[in-house]
Structure 1
């Protein structure tokens, strides 16, 4: 059985604001989204931090707020927005049947506590006992448990009451792609009727800089447009995103209409030998192209900004554009930063807004032909790509309902 998969709710928070309309408004004004880039807090690395977030709206209990780090705040907030739009908030019966799929990174550190421990352990009479006491008393659970996606799922369940089955994915960009693919496949095959797919990334952390800088991946100069950066071209961005996927039968039975139809989600994991990512993405394109309508397609790219792999994707997107007689493309990491596990979900949520408006927002790089070619109006289909900075390639097709 191959059923349609509807999206009945989406949540999105980033440096550009909260919700689809806020993002569309910010992306219409280049000065506005550029002003959100933080080039001082983590200098020399530009970062796109999360915008103002009213935690009390999404996590009413102060104790719950304190038990979570920012990453969990973003995932829980985005999930709350998606559940609200889908009309699931507060319906215990429906939430008990809602399956949960989460993508997230490893544990967060509290640098202030780390510094206190390092400063105190040298003076401690018994360093081992001192360390154990500090770990027990000063750290939140999220700060030392590596399997953070499981904790994200647990907190979404606690705060929002989502208590169906739970699956979690960990592993940078491909985790987010596979989380969506898993939810899509389960609805499509009849294994699930309604599922919440959520992901988040917190870029405003020095340990993230320490993780990606040694690999020569982080942009360490003033911000510049996405498509022609050097190998050290990734500017990280904080983001929370969530989608409610639902079978048409289940949605109709409770009087809901879709925001969009998710028609395809395909993923692969190449070894990244020269041309391997292009070959993997080419196979995905072959699977999806017969469903596309010329002149009606836009594309949101998850290109990370690291020169070699972003340049390879750019070349392939140019080929796709030629085959369709024009394809309007936007590299969203230029506006909200690269959000690793949450990147694919974020672009899907933003693509829904584009379909609702029937148009793409203004080119993020007016000097880049890829962003100025093709139709930006009258869109009825949106493609979303997700190329990992190291491994993993994904492609999804969204259509207007």
Structure 2
């Protein structure tokens, strides 16, 4: 589209999605997800392993198919294995796996958390500290003796990108964003903007989350964010709480010129990504920010909303109010996959691209007050309202 801002004319290129790698509680790959979504089957949840918390566990995965070296797998934490696996699925889907010429020019942008804790070591140290008369000395000694160097290294957020580079040979530029849900929004926003502006031709962008962790469940519960007891739809009235979900979601984004030159066809196209931050301490500011994002993205005929609502208090209630005024069909990612924090927005884009490419919405979930039956769609607005900060949206259209 033409842009004359600043008195200079430039043309933005289209941005195609040419590959999707998605693994979650529903399965792995696009076809498995579409079959699960289209069947209207109940979400896959675990309410006993981490009771009272509700978790969407990762489907059983044979990591050997995408990470063939056992040594590589052993030095990764679970979230890194999930992400590296999903990245491989995206590269396979785009038809560029093992193509060293293209992979050497493929930019990579990853949304990552801060790594996983060694829960057993943490628990042992805390127990000993409670009985110690010299907590400072004990803590220093235990940290030096109990934490292996590889654990400290594995907690570096940019090691997911490093592992993808090592395992799959993606050796273009690399960027890692932290910041929970907003990290996923900004990762896609930057990849999209670089390709649209002609600064990049092809990019791998994505994130991963391991929900089956006692430490993060405890951390979220300390802030009273977790869904407990039984599964409830995210828009079932009020805010049910966060049911976290293990997932890996990666997209291959590409300029039409680059894709066409190698004979690739689009799954869908991204026509805009916006990242914002409301002053949540101001009454009504969050709801208004979401409405502004929806107005910018557009909710006309043929549009559906694929919501990344978390289930967290305040944020979910504000989004429900804003979405209720649009009059367009809504589908919540969390109802199907759980909430994957950094990976959630990218997973939403993947489901949106899948629905747009099929020209149809998957059935609504019973008990969700916003999910209604919808006709065929040609575009989808993907929302992401962070559980305690950060808002964003993106538009996926039929290519």
Q: Give TM-score, length-normalised by structure 1.
A: 0.90
SS of alignment partner, residue 283 of structure 2? coil
Aligned to 1:324: none
Counterparts of residues 98-137 of structure 1 (less than 5 Å): 98-115=106-123, 131-136=143-148
Residue aligning to 1:28 = 38
State the partner residue of 1:77: 85
Helix, strand or coil at the partner of 1:274: coil
Paired residues of 2:16 and 2:270 also in contact (CA < 8 A)? yes
Taking the aligned partners of 1:367 and 1:59, their CA distance within structure 2 comes to 38
Q: CA RMSD in A?
A: 2.1
What SS does the corresponding residue of 2:343 show, helix, strand or coil? helix
What is the CA–CA distance in structure 2 between the aligned matches of 1:316 and 1:129, rounded to whole Å? 52
The within-5 A match list for 1:365-384 is 365-366=366-367, 368=369, 370-372=370-372, 375-376=374-375, 378-384=376-382
Q: Distance in 2 between matches of 1:224 and 1:68?
A: 33
Aligned residue runs from structure 1 range 150-169, under 5 A: 150-169=158-177
Residue number in structure 2 paired with 1:288: 297
2:351 aligned residue: 350
Aligned to 1:312: 318
8 A contact 2:233–2:240 mirrored in 1 = no
The answer to whether the 8 A contact 2:40-2:362 is kept is no
Match of 1:243 among 240, 251, 255: 251
TM-score of the two chains, using structure 2 as the length reference: 0.90
Give the distance between the partners of 1:130 and 1:279, measured in 2 at CA.
Answer: 49
Partner of 1:301: 307
Identify which of 266, 274, 283 aligns with 1:274. 283
1:172-321 to 2 correspondences below 5 Å: 172-228=180-236, 230-231=238-239, 233-272=241-280, 273-289=282-298, 293-294=300-301, 296-321=302-327
Alignment length (residue pairs): 382
Secondary structure of the 1:38 match is: coil
Taking the aligned partners of 2:262 and 2:29, their CA distance within structure 1 comes to 24
Structure 2: state its 5+ residue gaps: 1-10
Give the superposition deviation at 1:353.
Answer: 1.3
Q: Which moved more, 1:20-29 or 1:223-232?
A: 223-232
1:281 Cα shift? Answer: 2.2
CA distance in 2, matches of 1:205, 1:395: 28
Q: Tell whether the 8 Å contact from 1:229 to 1:306 is kept in structure 2 after alignment.
A: no
What 5-or-longer segments of structure 1 have no aligned partner? 322-326
| CA gap 1:367/1:394 in 2 versus in 1, 3 angstroms | closer
1:126-165, CA deviations, whole angstroms, 9 ceiling, x for partnerless residues? 96666424323773631xx3x41x1111111111111111
Aligned to 1:94: 102
CA offset digits 1:183-223 (Å, max 9, x no partner): 00000011111000010111100111121111111112211
